[in-house]
Copies of this chain bind each other. A is one copy, B any other.
Amino acid sequence: MEKMEYSSFVYRPIGIIHSPYQKDREKPPPQGVYSPENRGHVDIFPQFSEGLKDLDGFSHIILLFHFHLSADYDLVCYPRGDRELRGVFATRSPRRPNPIGCSVVELERIENHRLFIRRVDVYDGTPLLDIKPYVPVFDEICKGADSLDGRVRLGWLAERLKREKRNGIL
């Protein structure tokens, strides 16, 4: 265990995500759901393109990527629109000890090793680490994407999401 604590893992990008959001110009939405029509594309490096076989059967995919513009991390932070300090693991902040992001996007089509996607929520040039097929029965917990109650509790985020729904942002 002590040993594990000091081991490290080296990952290399398998491709690059392209989006309309350029650093210092325009920020991406905080999550894809805020701009579901947003288009982008992913260029997979040719040496990995064989791994794309059968992916075109899936309408949605999970992208794991490196937040390449996050230079450091904070263990607590003020989330957007919140006046209280929250633990980073209770937020989706990109300033995380391991700056890995995770987005579900819609896969429109694949041409050679370019994936055309919608619901993109990352900066242009984001290094891609992995793609997984999105499978509701594996990846979804509650009945209905709109439910904010029932079996799922949303902690400090519940109030903000309710407010955003009321204001038509979400």
Interface residues of A (CB under 8 A from B): 1, 4-14, 16, 31-33, 45, 48, 50-62, 64, 66, 75-76, 85-92, 96-98, 100, 102, 104, 106, 125, 127, 129-148, 151-158, 161, 170
Contact = CB atoms under 8 A, between A and B. Distances in A.
A132 B137 CA distance: 19
A12 B8 contact: yes
A26 to B, nearest CB: 20
B90 A52 contact: yes
Given A5-B13, A130-B100, A136-B142, A59 B151 contact: yes
Contact of A134 (B8, B66, B141): B141
B89 A131 contact: yes
A136 B140 contact: yes
Q: Is the interface of A mostly helix, strand, loop or mixed?
A: mixed
B152 A60 contact: yes
Nearest to A32: B138
Which among A60, A85, A88, A148 has the highest number of chain B CB atoms within 10 Å? Answer: A88
Contacts of A98: 11-12, 14, 64, 129-130
6 contacts: A9-B129, A32-B138, A57-B153, A96-B130, A136-B147, A143-B144
B57 A90 contact: yes
B92 A138 contact: yes
A169 B134 CA distance: 20
A136 B151 CA distance: 11
A98 B75 CA distance: 25
Closest 10 CB pairs of A and B: A57-B155, A53-B87, A54-B90, A59-B153, A89-B131, A50-B75, A51-B75, A11-B98, A140-B145, A55-B90
